[in-house]
Amino acid sequence: MSAPRTIALVLTVGLAACSVPDEPVDIHDPFENTNRAVHEFNKSFDQAILRPSANYYAETLPRPIRGLLSNLADHISISGDLVNDILQGNAEDIGHNFSRFAVNSTVGVFGIFDPATNDFGLERREARVGETLAVYGVPEGAYVELPFLGPSTEREAIGRVGDFFTNAFSYVLEGPSALAATGVGAVDLLNDRAEFGDAIDEVFYESADSYAQTRSLYLQNLRFERSGGDLEEQFGDIYDELEFE
Protein backbone atom coordinates (compact mmCIF):
# COMPACT_ATOMS: atom_id res chain seq x y z
CA MET A 1 0.00 0.00 0.00
CA SER A 2 1.33 3.44 -0.86
CA ALA A 3 2.21 5.78 1.94
CA PRO A 4 -0.48 8.40 1.25
CA ARG A 5 -3.13 5.69 1.16
CA THR A 6 -1.85 4.24 4.40
CA ILE A 7 -2.00 7.67 6.02
CA ALA A 8 -5.53 8.19 4.74
CA LEU A 9 -6.64 4.83 6.08
CA VAL A 10 -5.03 5.28 9.49
CA LEU A 11 -6.48 8.75 9.81
CA THR A 12 -10.00 7.80 8.77
CA VAL A 13 -10.26 4.78 11.02
CA GLY A 14 -8.39 6.37 13.89
CA LEU A 15 -10.15 9.70 13.88
CA ALA A 16 -13.58 8.14 13.90
CA ALA A 17 -12.49 6.42 17.09
CA CYS A 18 -11.41 9.60 18.89
CA SER A 19 -13.68 9.66 21.88
CA VAL A 20 -15.26 12.93 22.84
CA PRO A 21 -16.66 13.56 26.30
CA ASP A 22 -20.35 14.53 26.54
CA GLU A 23 -19.35 17.80 28.11
CA PRO A 24 -15.99 19.53 27.77
CA VAL A 25 -13.90 18.42 30.72
CA ASP A 26 -10.46 19.25 31.94
CA ILE A 27 -9.30 15.65 31.90
CA HIS A 28 -10.98 12.99 29.80
CA ASP A 29 -9.49 9.69 30.89
CA PRO A 30 -11.89 6.77 30.38
CA PHE A 31 -8.96 4.31 30.11
CA GLU A 32 -7.41 5.27 33.43
CA ASN A 33 -6.95 1.72 34.73
CA THR A 34 -5.09 0.57 31.63
CA ASN A 35 -3.18 3.84 31.45
CA ARG A 36 -2.01 3.44 35.02
CA ALA A 37 -0.71 -0.06 34.29
CA VAL A 38 1.18 1.27 31.23
CA HIS A 39 2.51 4.11 33.35
CA GLU A 40 3.97 1.66 35.88
CA PHE A 41 5.56 -0.22 33.00
CA ASN A 42 7.04 2.99 31.58
CA LYS A 43 8.43 3.90 34.98
CA SER A 44 10.11 0.51 35.32
CA PHE A 45 11.49 0.85 31.81
CA ASP A 46 12.83 4.31 32.63
CA GLN A 47 14.36 3.14 35.88
CA ALA A 48 15.98 0.02 34.45
CA ILE A 49 17.02 1.16 30.99
CA LEU A 50 16.28 4.69 29.79
CA ARG A 51 17.55 6.67 32.78
CA PRO A 52 20.83 4.73 33.20
CA SER A 53 21.46 4.82 29.42
CA ALA A 54 20.83 8.56 29.32
CA ASN A 55 23.19 9.12 32.23
CA TYR A 56 25.82 6.98 30.57
CA TYR A 57 25.37 8.88 27.29
CA ALA A 58 25.67 12.24 29.04
CA GLU A 59 28.79 11.14 30.94
CA THR A 60 30.47 9.66 27.88
CA LEU A 61 29.87 12.43 25.35
CA PRO A 62 30.66 16.03 26.24
CA ARG A 63 27.75 18.44 26.00
CA PRO A 64 29.01 20.30 22.87
CA ILE A 65 29.08 17.05 20.90
CA ARG A 66 25.65 16.06 22.18
CA GLY A 67 24.52 19.50 21.03
CA LEU A 68 25.70 18.78 17.49
CA LEU A 69 23.80 15.49 17.39
CA SER A 70 20.78 17.30 18.73
CA ASN A 71 21.04 19.84 15.90
CA LEU A 72 21.26 17.03 13.40
CA ALA A 73 18.18 15.32 14.83
CA ASP A 74 16.23 18.60 14.55
CA HIS A 75 17.47 19.07 11.00
CA ILE A 76 16.38 15.60 9.94
CA SER A 77 12.88 16.17 11.30
CA ILE A 78 12.36 19.52 9.55
CA SER A 79 10.94 17.88 6.43
CA GLY A 80 8.06 16.67 8.57
CA ASP A 81 7.61 20.19 9.91
CA LEU A 82 7.42 21.53 6.36
CA VAL A 83 4.89 18.93 5.21
CA ASN A 84 2.64 19.89 8.12
CA ASP A 85 3.14 23.61 7.55
CA ILE A 86 1.91 23.02 4.00
CA LEU A 87 -1.03 20.86 5.13
CA GLN A 88 -2.00 23.60 7.56
CA GLY A 89 -1.58 26.31 4.92
CA ASN A 90 0.68 28.21 7.31
CA ALA A 91 2.53 30.44 4.83
CA GLU A 92 4.68 32.14 7.44
CA ASP A 93 5.98 28.90 8.91
CA ILE A 94 6.56 27.42 5.45
CA GLY A 95 8.88 30.35 4.70
CA HIS A 96 10.42 30.23 8.15
CA ASN A 97 11.18 26.51 8.12
CA PHE A 98 12.29 26.50 4.50
CA SER A 99 14.78 29.31 5.19
CA ARG A 100 15.88 27.48 8.30
CA PHE A 101 16.43 24.32 6.32
CA ALA A 102 18.38 26.20 3.62
CA VAL A 103 20.64 28.03 6.11
CA ASN A 104 21.40 24.98 8.25
CA SER A 105 21.96 22.70 5.22
CA THR A 106 24.62 25.06 3.87
CA VAL A 107 26.18 27.35 6.47
CA GLY A 108 25.28 24.80 9.14
CA VAL A 109 27.14 21.98 7.32
CA PHE A 110 24.27 19.55 6.65
CA GLY A 111 22.53 20.47 9.89
CA ILE A 112 25.36 19.74 12.31
CA PHE A 113 25.35 23.36 13.42
CA ASP A 114 22.40 25.66 13.95
CA PRO A 115 23.31 29.11 12.60
CA ALA A 116 19.62 29.59 11.69
CA THR A 117 18.74 29.96 15.38
CA ASN A 118 21.95 31.57 16.53
CA ASP A 119 22.51 34.14 13.78
CA PHE A 120 19.32 34.48 11.74
CA GLY A 121 16.54 34.42 14.33
CA LEU A 122 15.08 31.35 12.64
CA GLU A 123 14.37 29.24 15.71
CA ARG A 124 12.97 25.74 15.52
CA ARG A 125 9.24 25.67 14.82
CA GLU A 126 7.92 22.16 15.11
CA ALA A 127 4.82 21.10 13.24
CA ARG A 128 3.51 17.61 13.76
CA VAL A 129 0.58 15.70 12.33
CA GLY A 130 -1.16 15.95 15.73
CA GLU A 131 -1.13 19.72 15.27
CA THR A 132 -2.40 19.50 11.69
CA LEU A 133 -5.28 17.32 12.88
CA ALA A 134 -6.07 19.87 15.58
CA VAL A 135 -6.07 22.64 12.95
CA TYR A 136 -8.57 20.55 10.94
CA GLY A 137 -10.81 20.48 14.01
CA VAL A 138 -10.16 16.93 15.20
CA PRO A 139 -10.89 16.73 18.95
CA GLU A 140 -8.10 15.90 21.37
CA GLY A 141 -9.67 12.56 22.27
CA ALA A 142 -9.14 10.61 25.46
CA TYR A 143 -5.88 10.67 27.35
CA VAL A 144 -3.71 7.63 26.70
CA GLU A 145 -0.33 6.63 28.02
CA LEU A 146 1.59 4.70 25.36
CA PRO A 147 4.15 2.02 26.18
CA PHE A 148 7.71 3.40 25.81
CA LEU A 149 6.43 6.63 24.22
CA GLY A 150 4.69 8.03 27.28
CA PRO A 151 1.74 10.40 27.62
CA SER A 152 -0.47 11.12 24.60
CA THR A 153 -4.09 11.50 23.55
CA GLU A 154 -6.03 9.61 20.92
CA ARG A 155 -5.51 12.39 18.36
CA GLU A 156 -1.83 12.81 19.16
CA ALA A 157 -1.22 9.05 19.06
CA ILE A 158 -2.66 8.91 15.53
CA GLY A 159 -0.54 11.95 14.76
CA ARG A 160 2.58 10.05 15.76
CA VAL A 161 1.80 7.39 13.18
CA GLY A 162 1.34 10.15 10.63
CA ASP A 163 4.64 11.73 11.67
CA PHE A 164 6.42 8.58 10.60
CA PHE A 165 5.05 8.99 7.07
CA THR A 166 5.47 12.75 6.74
CA ASN A 167 9.18 12.55 7.48
CA ALA A 168 10.59 12.74 3.96
CA PHE A 169 13.89 11.26 5.03
CA SER A 170 12.18 7.93 5.55
CA TYR A 171 11.59 7.88 1.75
CA VAL A 172 14.81 9.49 0.53
CA LEU A 173 17.27 7.62 2.69
CA GLU A 174 17.93 3.95 2.28
CA GLY A 175 19.91 1.28 4.06
CA PRO A 176 22.63 2.45 6.44
CA SER A 177 21.83 6.16 6.14
CA ALA A 178 18.16 5.55 7.02
CA LEU A 179 19.35 3.56 10.01
CA ALA A 180 21.73 6.36 10.95
CA ALA A 181 18.93 8.93 10.78
CA THR A 182 16.79 6.80 13.07
CA GLY A 183 19.79 6.33 15.34
CA VAL A 184 20.37 10.06 15.62
CA GLY A 185 16.73 10.53 16.61
CA ALA A 186 16.96 7.81 19.25
CA VAL A 187 20.19 9.18 20.65
CA ASP A 188 18.62 12.62 20.88
CA LEU A 189 15.91 11.13 23.09
CA LEU A 190 18.65 10.02 25.49
CA ASN A 191 19.99 13.55 25.39
CA ASP A 192 16.58 14.96 26.32
CA ARG A 193 16.22 12.46 29.16
CA ALA A 194 19.64 13.52 30.46
CA GLU A 195 19.14 17.29 29.99
CA PHE A 196 15.79 17.37 31.75
CA GLY A 197 16.79 14.61 34.14
CA ASP A 198 16.04 16.30 37.45
CA ALA A 199 12.65 17.61 36.35
CA ILE A 200 11.65 14.18 35.01
CA ASP A 201 12.93 12.41 38.13
CA GLU A 202 10.89 14.77 40.26
CA VAL A 203 7.66 13.97 38.42
CA PHE A 204 8.30 10.22 38.11
CA TYR A 205 9.85 9.39 41.44
CA GLU A 206 9.07 12.16 43.87
CA SER A 207 5.47 13.21 43.23
CA ALA A 208 2.62 11.79 45.29
CA ASP A 209 0.81 10.40 42.23
CA SER A 210 3.21 10.31 39.30
CA TYR A 211 0.49 9.14 36.89
CA ALA A 212 -1.84 12.06 37.67
CA GLN A 213 1.05 14.52 37.62
CA THR A 214 2.37 13.28 34.26
CA ARG A 215 -1.13 13.51 32.79
CA SER A 216 -1.68 17.02 34.13
CA LEU A 217 1.67 18.34 32.89
CA TYR A 218 1.30 16.72 29.47
CA LEU A 219 -2.24 17.95 28.80
CA GLN A 220 -1.50 21.49 29.97
CA ASN A 221 1.56 21.75 27.73
CA LEU A 222 -0.22 20.08 24.78
CA ARG A 223 -3.17 22.49 24.93
CA PHE A 224 -0.78 25.43 25.19
CA GLU A 225 1.09 24.30 22.07
CA ARG A 226 -2.03 23.43 20.10
CA SER A 227 -3.55 26.83 20.84
CA GLY A 228 -0.44 28.56 19.50
CA GLY A 229 0.81 29.57 22.94
CA ASP A 230 -2.39 31.27 24.05
CA LEU A 231 -3.35 30.71 27.67
CA GLU A 232 -6.78 32.33 27.37
CA GLU A 233 -8.82 29.14 27.14
CA GLN A 234 -6.99 27.26 29.83
CA PHE A 235 -7.35 29.80 32.57
CA GLY A 236 -10.23 30.76 34.75
CA ASP A 237 -10.15 33.34 37.51
CA ILE A 238 -9.22 31.43 40.65
CA TYR A 239 -10.65 34.22 42.80
CA ASP A 240 -14.07 33.58 41.27
CA GLU A 241 -13.62 29.83 41.59
CA LEU A 242 -12.76 30.15 45.28
CA GLU A 243 -15.81 32.31 45.94
CA PHE A 244 -18.06 29.61 44.52
CA GLU A 245 -16.51 26.87 46.60
Using CB under 8 A as the binding rule, whether residue 126 contacts another protein is answered as no
Using CB under 8 A as the binding rule, whether residue 241 contacts another protein is answered as yes
Q: Which stretch binds another protein (CB under 8 A): 83-91, 95-103, 184-192, 231-239?
A: 231-239
- The distance of closest approach from Cβ of residue 241 to another protein in the complex, given in angstroms and rounded to an integer, is 7
Using CB under 8 A as the binding rule, whether residue 217 contacts another protein is answered as yes
* DSSP-assigned letter for residue 49: I
Burial readout 86-102 (b: 16 or more C-beta within 10 A, e: otherwise): bbbebeebbebbeebbe
Using CB under 8 A as the binding rule, whether residue 237 contacts another protein is answered as yes
Q: Which of 12, 19, 47, 234: binder of another protein (CB under 8 A)?
A: 234
- The distance of closest approach from Cβ of residue 232 to another protein in the complex, given in angstroms and rounded to an integer, is 6
Nearest to 10 by CA among 205, 201, 185, 155: 155
Nearest to 11 by CA among 128, 127, 90, 129: 129
Q: E strands along 99-194, which residues? A: 143-146, 150-153
Q: Which stretch binds another protein (CB under 8 A): 16-24, 128-136, 144-152, 236-244?
A: 236-244
- The distance of closest approach from Cβ of residue 135 to another protein in the complex, given in angstroms and rounded to an integer, is 18
- Is 57:190 a contact under the CB 8 Å cutoff? yes
Quick note: the x/- pattern for another protein over 176-205, rule CB under 8 A, is -------------------x--xx------
Using CB under 8 A as the binding rule, whether residue 25 contacts another protein is answered as no
Q: Which of residues 55-94 bind another protein (CB under 8 A)?
A: 63, 67
Using CB under 8 A as the binding rule, whether residue 47 contacts another protein is answered as no
- Work out the number of other CB atoms within 10 angstroms of the CB of residue 62: 9
> CA angle, corner 150, sides to 235 and 52, nearest 5?
120
Q: Which of 117, 126, 146, 182: binder of another protein (CB under 8 A)?
A: 117
228: left (phi > 0), else alpha (psi -120 to 50), else beta? Answer: left
- The distance of closest approach from Cβ of residue 6 to another protein in the complex, given in angstroms and rounded to an integer, is 32
Alpha-carbon gap, residue 158 to 12, rounded angstroms: 10
In terms of CB distance, is 74 or 85 closer to another protein? Answer: 74
CA distances from 180 to 60, 174, 183, 186 (A): 19, 10, 5, 10
Binding residues (CB under 8 A) for another protein: these are: 63, 67, 117, 123-124, 195, 198-199, 207-209, 212-213, 216-217, 220-225, 229, 231-232, 234-242, 245
